[in-house]
Amino acid sequence: QVQLVESGGGSARAGGSLRLSCVASGLTFSLYVMGWFRQAPGKEREFVAAISRSANTYYADSVKGRFSISRDNAKNTVYLQMNSLKPEDTAVYYCAADYSNIIFTIVSAYDYWGQGTQVTVSS
């Protein structure tokens, strides 16, 4: 069965950095768009970043210039490097996989989801 397992969440101070990892299994990793979403308490899950099978990337305006997504197909792993963190980045971060050539930013497009990892940024 398909599994996406996130790690790397935790606490950081404003201006600090964290790197999230997501290891996928049970799928042909290179055929999927890999995305990161986040969900803060009381808010809907929102798109953060995604990387296509050809390594094109797309970012939400709120994180552009601060976050960087990358993938290592040999390790079946997608990363989210988060720099210059802000308190408003606090959320549960989810890894997601979409069997597609095209990056979509909507939750419903993604086929598989990880369990989420908490990121807390203090001011």
Local confidence band at 13 (pLDDT 50, 70, 90 cut-offs): very high
Residue-wise pLDDT for 95-112, tens only, equals: 999 999 999 999 999 999
pLDDT tens digits along 42-88: 999 999 999 999 999 999 999 999 999 999 999 999 999 999 999 99
Whether 45 and 37 have beta carbons less than 8 Å apart is answered as: yes
- How much is the pLDDT for 58? 98
Q: What is the DSSP string of 44-103?
A: --EEEEEE-TT--EEE-TTTTTTEEEEEEGGGTEEEEEE-S--GGG-EEEEEEEE-SSS-
Separation CA 66–CA 85 (nearest Å): 8
